[in-house]
A and B are shown apart, each in its own frame.
Chain A
Amino acid sequence: MSAPLKETAAQGAGVPAQRTASRTPARPGERRGEGVVLNAFSHGFLALWALLIILPLLWLVFSSFRSDAQIGGSAFGWPQAWSFDVFRRAWNKGIGDYFLNTVIVLVFSVPLTMLFGSMAAYVLARYRFWGNRVVYYFFVAGAMFPVFLALVPLFFMVKRLDMLNTYQGLILVYVAYSMPFTVFFMHAFFRTLPTAVFEASVLDGASHTRTFFQVMLPMAKPGLISVGIFNTLGQWNQFILPTVLMQPQSGSDPERYVLTQGLIQLQQQQGYASDLPVLFAGVTLAMIPMLVVYLSFQRQVQAGLTSATLK
């Protein structure tokens, strides 16, 4: 599903352009008039919305250079000095730690999600055994339920495992909650792979495990990329799970906030401390990696997220 989507996305404005080919040039004048009006109209609306997206973001970045008094006084106004010191302060105020915590968690949780999700999806898609359908639906059904249904017992479960406010706790929970979608998507993907390659590999004497890791998994790369992007963004932006699971448990327990949680924390602190530039600088820093990754892999990100939804 992901591959054809990527192709169509690459075609740009394919369909309607083609409509023109067969159009008889019976009333060219009238057609052109209609097109020009529609063109101006659509450009107007499209440009307006683009501005509504870009301007607030730019304004926020710009505001981090202004002083707190300026920010409170008026929405507009030139910064008194273009000092990048505010970014250093934001980094030291916690953004640096929040970044680090998020990266530590995701470095483990995303690969583990992909590994375990693919393993389960693979055996469910390619092997016949008793209970196959049951296990499959058991995984997929999880996607139907709101996470809020599980929150209270989940908190006490993680507490009993002594993993509250630990990286490993959050990693395991992220992996578990990413299973339904990963299994669902990779299951569909493994089903589309040709059987012949699998059989050839088995005939050559490769074990099942080896066939999976050296033959099937490499063939599933496009699917892995789509789900990988989806999971990375989802886990990077996750808020409710860390809010419940990553609170310091005692005075000596250090903060291990992830980025989303940390930003909201910073918003409260900086509001009281009357130092909003630091908050805005923090948000700017948090946006930079997303912007860089998005602009570099924009087509993969769009295709990854949308094809993932369409499944």
Chain B
Amino acid sequence: MRTGQHRFVAGFLLVPVALYLIFVIWPYIQTFGYSLTDWKGQSQTFKFVGLDNYKALIHDDVFMEAIWHNILFLIFIPVITILLALFFAFMVNAGGRSKAGGVQGVAGSKFYKIVYFFPQVLSLAIVAVLFNAVYRSDGGGLLNGVLIKIHLVDPNNPVEWLNEPNMVLWALLAAVVWHGVGFYLVLFSAAMQSIPRDVYEAALIDGASRNQSFFRITLPLLWDTVQTAWVYLGIVAMDMFVLVSSMTQNMGAYGGGPDHHSDVMSTVMMRNFEYFGKSGYACAMGVVMLLLTLVLSVVMLRATRRDRVEF
């Protein structure tokens, strides 16, 4: 029986562990090794160069600027998405018409949830094509078209949303928020509905207003979910590959334009790997991405730590 059980355990683990080792763990480990070489990818020979790639990274203005763009995304994507989603979740759940002196969810809350969530099931590739059409730099773009109609934009001089250095990041940000808000609305809604009613009843008896019960009860009890949302949006902000590479002017390949004003770490890395063929250097970028991800998750978890409320 014992040996039979061991054979069973080993048999069940064999294929999943093997696949995982070959395609995930081993490449992860190799990246660290390759990042210390001058490997050019196609050639089989490379030599050990120590930390040269990392030293070069520090002086690589494009990569440094890309890190800065990721940090901007890391601040604004979670803040805007979470605030909007919390606001909508509160509206959907508590913004309804009074009945007999009470409060309830808005009529059609189900409809709103269905519509808001829909972008989440679309691929980012679809979102990229859609927003490219929306942001077209002539009157044929939806955004320019609407702004021309209401006379906010001169038809002879439409806004080049994706070609203006100080506009392009915000244009990308808007697409991300458009894609994500519905998901977090549903997430927060579910969390709000799992808060026990007697908590609210107790607050009411104590004379709490609607605002007070939101800020003093709903929000603190939602904190765990908000934290989860922050982590997931942080991952989105560290990636951004699909939108940047397919919506912005190519800086050789994989977007990043105009003049690297929208480059992020992932696009710079892919460009160095596939376009310039600098595999070792790209690996060093991958390691920096990992380190930044780890540092940021530690900082985030520390900064948002609260005493967990069990209910």
Contact = CB atoms under 8 A, between A and B. Distances in A.
Given A149-B289, A239-B242, A75 B146 contact: yes
A173 interface: yes
Interface of B: 4-6, 8-9, 11-13, 15-17, 19-20, 22-28, 30-31, 34, 41, 84, 87-88, 91-106, 109-126, 128-130, 132-134, 136, 138-142, 144-146, 149, 178, 181-183, 186-187, 189-195, 197, 200-201, 204-205, 210, 213, 225, 228, 232, 235, 238-239, 241-242, 245-246, 265-266, 269-270, 273-274, 279, 282-283, 285-287, 289-290, 293-294, 297
Contacts of A209: 8, 11
A248 interface: no
B140 A71 contact: yes
Contact of B190 (A8, A38, A43): A8
B11 to A, nearest CB: 8
Contacts of B266: 148, 240
B24 A176 contact: yes
* A-B residue pairs, 4 tightest by C-beta: A13-B105, A20-B102, A75-B145, A35-B98
Contacts of B102: 17, 19-21, 23, 31, 35
Given A31-B98, A157-B27, A176-B19, A46 B201 contact: no
Nearest to B285: A148
Contacts of A152: 27, 31, 34, 41, 273, 279, 282-283, 286
A205 interface: no
Interface of B, helix, strand, loop or mixed by DSSP: helix
B180 to A, nearest CB: 12
Given A175-B19, A286-B126, A13 B96 contact: yes
Contacts of A25: 100-101
A15 interface: yes
A9 interface: yes
Interface stretch (A85-93, A122-130, A191-199, A220-228): A122-130
A243 B95 CA distance: 44
Interface string A27-47: 110011011101101110110
A137 interface: no
B95 A38 contact: yes
Interface of A: 4-5, 8-9, 11-23, 25, 27-28, 31-32, 34-36, 38-39, 41-43, 45-46, 49-50, 52-54, 56-57, 59-60, 63, 71-76, 116-117, 119-120, 122-124, 127, 129, 135, 138-139, 142, 144-146, 148-158, 172-173, 175-177, 179-180, 183, 207-209, 212, 233, 236-237, 239-240, 243-244, 259-261, 263-264, 267, 276, 279-280, 283, 286-287, 290-291, 293-295, 298, 301-302, 305-307, 309-310
A179 B19 contact: yes
Given A15-B200, A38-B210, A259-B125, 19 more contacts: A13-B94, A14-B193, A20-B101, A46-B91, A49-B88, A49-B116, A60-B129, A119-B12, A123-B8, A123-B12, A127-B9, A129-B6, A148-B286, A151-B27, A208-B5, A239-B242, A260-B123, A263-B123, A305-B120
